[in-house]
């Protein structure tokens, strides 16, 4: 998380999310730019306001937070831990990040 920008971290903290504890994470091979591509999700307790534009919920269009972080919200829930408080909203994300571990991925 040390390599994340302040704007990315602020988004998670404002939503009450610990960015280092997602509910699901998938890693893909490095992209042509050398960055590693990940998708995953977090779960939030809450619901979408009636004033929220419907086009951002269950949309294929992600919201760009930074050059390498895109998010979207969904009511189609996956990987919700048992006993998680209701109502639940899912935040899906896509991110490209550099590999920072000494050991290369296998």
Cα distances from 45 to residues 32, 36, 72, in angstroms, run 37, 29, 16
Confidence of residue 47 (pLDDT cuts 50, 70, 90): confident
Residue that is written with structure tokens 């534009």 in the block: 53
| C-alpha to C-alpha distance for 49 and 72, rounded to whole angstroms | 15
Give the percent of the chain with pLDDT over 90: 58
Q: Is the pLDDT of residue 98 over 60?
A: yes
* Chain centroid offset of residue 45 CA: 15
In the chain, the N- to C-terminal Cα span, in Å, equals 22
CA dihedral 27, 5, 91, 55 (to 10 degrees): -120
- pLDDT band per the 50, 70, 90 thresholds, residue 24: very high
86 neighbors 94 (Cβ within 8 angstroms) = no
Q: Region 80-105: what's the mean pLDDT?
A: 91
């Amino acid at each position: 998380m040390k390599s994340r920008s302040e704007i990315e971290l602020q988004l998670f903290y404002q939503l009450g999310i610990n960015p280092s504890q997602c509910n699901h994470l998938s890693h893909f091979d490095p992209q042509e730019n050398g960055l590693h591509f990940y998708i995953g999700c977090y779960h939030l307790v809450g619901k979408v306001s009636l004033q929220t534009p419907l086009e951002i919920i269950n949309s294929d269009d992600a919201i760009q937070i930074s050059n390498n972080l895109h998010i979207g919200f969904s009511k189609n829930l996956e990987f919700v831990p048992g006993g998680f408080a209701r109502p639940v909203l899912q935040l899906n994300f896509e991110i490209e990040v550099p590999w920072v571990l000494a050991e290369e991925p296998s």
